Amino acid sequence: MQSLDEDVRLMLAFREGDPRAFDRLFRRWSGPLLRYLERMVRDAASAEDLVQEAFLRVHRSRERYSPDARFSTWLYRIATNLALNELRRPRHKAVHSSIGDEQALPLPSRGPAVDEVVDARRMGGRVEEELARLPEKQRAALCLAAVEGFSYAEVAQALDVTEKSVKSLVHRARSTLAERLREHWGHEE
Amino acid sequence: MKGELDMPERSAICREIDADLSALIDAELAPEREAEMRAHLDDCDRCAQRLQDLCNVDLALADLAAPMVAADLGQRLAARIASDSGERSVPVPDAASPKRSRTVTPRQPRRSLRRRLMPVAVVATAVLLAIVVANRQSSEVDPDPLQLARTLRSMNPAATLPEAATPGVNFGSLPDEDLAVLFEFDTVEDLDVIANLELLEQFVAMEALEG
Ligand SMILES: [Zn+2]
């Protein structure tokens, strides 16, 4: 895939001392990384901080980058470790319980109709809340696989677990979310 | 519901199928296993329903608004790198337009709780709506949930080149020259407005389609 080569090329250029390559990597990856970190830590300010922290570490440890790892896998591995550390801080615990109860909206079990798709936007808070209730590693695995489009092998590298664990983490996360969202949306036979 | 689903050996097969459903959605199965799964899913309402439920999770995730990167995040990072390493002339997004001589005062980060839509979310919604609208017109056919989930997944910036995947305003992918233009927008709210306008256009187009 073209993007792999491009990231690797940029990272190698940065390692060789081209600062604009770093700038480019930042611009390519700060958006997706911010999205991932916000889902992980559920706090916009902390997530922004962690994006900076992750890139700071990329900057510091450029010498240690080896092109056999995808840049994104490396970056997300750094970011995941930072996020897990952040979640272990005591002040973070409070953030998770501050979401109000939203009204359940009906969504048919097969193929949402247009009106409900529009309504589904309002369900965003509920989805995020349920995502936040998942165990950290399940949440990370699901976000990386289903949202960021990582292969299970890449998720395994980012989370430092086996591919088999990734398969199970992703499936448990998706199943739990499916059940909880089904409860909220209601379903008819 | 099919009566044979209650037979124990059938349930055992369904359990095995179930364990592989997420891997099916994520395109992680060997071709033979995927074919086997698809054959079972054609035949088993219960497993097909489970697949639909799991795919709905992906649709819900794709539809979540994504945060917009603050325009000054790069500058704040640059400041941190500078103080970290003592280096001068650290790469920052704004350094891309050296001809502009205005002084950059780092903005206070906004802490608005309002979610900001990124073009990716807009595209995901548009694809979803297009498929749903098409599906309404031929009311008998269900959309293929697997296809839909995989399409949405493949549109994410981490999976493809951001430049190719995200049309419209995308801070992360503008060529250097255009960055100066982007900085003419003074606040992230301006970008927010643009993203929301795009979303509105999608809805208007959809309503026109519906007649
Ligand atoms: Zn079955």
Domain layout of chain B by residue ranges:
7-56, 73-86+110-210
DSSP A100: P
A182 and A120 in a common domain: yes
Do residues A117 and A179 both lie within one domain? yes
Please state, rounded to an integer, the average pLDDT across all residues of chain A.
83
Same domain, A76 and A4: yes
| The pLDDT of residue A99 | 36
Whole-number Å distance, alpha carbon A3 to ligand 1 midpoint, is 38
Same domain, A118 and A171: yes
B14 CA from centroid of ligand 1 (Å):
4
Predicted ipTM? Answer: 0.81
Contact between residue B63 and residue B126 where contact means Cβ atoms under 8 Å apart: no
Nearest-CA distance from B196 to chain A in Å?
13
Q: Tell me how close the Cα of B84 comes to any Cα of chain A, in angstroms.
A: 8
Given A41, A67, A94, which residue is the final one in a domain?
A: A94
Taking the CA atoms of chain A, what radius of gyration do you get in angstroms? Answer: 18
Tokens coding B90: 């650290």
> In angstroms, rounded to a whole number, what is the distance separating the alpha carbons of residues B208 and B211?
5
Sign of the C-alpha dihedral computed for residues B127, B132, B137 and B140 taken in this order = positive
Q: Give the phi and the psi of residue A113 in degrees, each rounded to 5.
A: -80, 165
The predicted model gives B6-15 an average pLDDT of 77
Q: Does A99 fall in a domain? A: no
The whole model's pTM is what? 0.68
Average pLDDT of chain B is 63
Query: Which two three-digit tokens encode residue A89?
Result: 């801080």
- Determine the angle formed by the axes of helices A114-122 and B188-210, rounding to 10 degrees: 160
Q: Can you give the length of chain B in residues? A: 211
| Gap from B152 CA to chain A (nearest CA, Å) | 8
- Which amino acid does the sequence have at B198? E
Tell me how far apart the alpha carbons of residues A53 and A49 are, in angstroms, rounded to a whole number: 6
Q: Which residue has the higher pLDDT, B104 or B146?
A: B146
Q: A3 with A76, same domain?
A: yes
pLDDT of residue B17: 97
Q: Mean per-residue pLDDT for B150-154?
A: 74
- Whether A42 contacts A128, CB under 8 Å: yes
The CATH number of residue A22's host domain is 1.10.1740.10
> Is residue A7 situated within a structural domain?
yes
Phi, psi of B40, deg, nearest 5: -65, -40
Residue with tokens 């592989």: B20
Assigned domain for A115 exists: yes
Least confident residue range of A108-122, B118-132, B146-160: A108-122
Is pLDDT of B98 > 60?
A: no
The residue written with tokens 């891997």 in the block is: B23
Of B173 and A140, the structure prediction assigns the larger pLDDT to A140
| B9 φ/ψ angles, rounded to the nearest 5 degrees | -65, -35
Domain boundary among A94, A124, A149: A94
Is the domain of A78 the same as that of A119?
no
* Structural domain includes residue A101: no
- In a shared domain, residues A37 and A74: yes
pLDDT of B163 strictly over 60 = no
Q: Highest mean pLDDT range out of B75-89, B124-138, B153-167?
A: B75-89
Q: How confident is the model at residue B67 (pLDDT cuts 50, 70, 90)?
A: confident
Dist. CA A23–CA A13, nearest whole Å: 11
Q: Domain check: are A68 and A142 in the same one?
A: no
Per-residue pLDDT of chain A (189 residues; tens, 9 = 90+): 455 578 999 999 999 988 889 999 999 999 999 999 999 999 999 999 999 999 999 999 888 888 887 899 999 999 999 999 999 887 665 544 333 333 333 333 444 455 555 555 556 788 889 999 999 999 999 999 999 999 999 999 999 999 999 999 999 999 999 999 888 876 533
> How far apart, in whole angstroms, are the C-alpha atoms of residue A22 and residue A8?
11
Structural domain of A149: 109-189
Q: Is A61 in the B-facing interface, judged by CB distances under 8 Å?
A: no
Amino acid, single-letter form, for residue A164: K
**Is A43 in the same domain as A1?**
yes
Same domain? A176 vs A115: yes
pLDDT, position A185: 74
The runs of H, that is alpha helices, within chain A are: 2-15, 19-41, 44-60, 71-88, 114-122, 124-133, 136-142, 152-159, 163-185
A56 and B80 in contact by Cβ < 8 A?
yes
Give chain B as a DSSP string.
--GGGGSHHHHHHHHHHHHTHHHHHTT-S-HHHHHHHHHHHHH-HHHHHHHHHHHHHHHHHHTSPPPPPPTTHHHHHHHHHHHHH--SS---GGGG-TT-----PPPPPP---S----HHHHHHHHHHHHHHHHHHHTTTPPP-HHHHHHHHHHTSTTTS-HHHH--S--GGG--HHHHHHHHHS-SHHHHHHHHHHHHHHHHHHHHHHH-
Report how far ligand 1's centroid is from the alpha carbon of B41 (Å). Answer: 7
Which of A70, A94, A118 is a domain's end point? A94
**pLDDT, tens digit, for every residue of B181-190?**
333 333 333 3
Mutate to test the interface with A, among B33, B64, B125, B128 (most CBs of A within 10 A): B64
pLDDT reported for residue B145: 79
- Residue B157: pLDDT band by 50, 70, 90 thresholds? low
A38 lies within 8 A of chain B by CB:
yes
- Residue at A166 is within a domain: yes
* Tally of domains in chain A: 2
Q: What percent of chain B has pLDDT over 70?
A: 40
A49 interface with B at CB cutoff 8 Å: no
Do A75 and A146 share a domain, yes or no? no
From residue A155, how far is each of A128, A150, A158, A185, B152 by CA, in Å?
A: 21, 6, 5, 30, 18
Query: Do A165 and A85 share a structural domain?
Result: no
Angle between helices A124-133 and A19-41 (to 10 degrees): 90
Under 8 Å between Cβ of B158 and A28: no
Phi, psi of A80 (to 5 degrees): -65, -45
Contacts of B182 (CB under 8 A, 6+ apart): B71, B169, B171, B174
Question: Is there a domain that residue A184 lies in?
Answer: yes
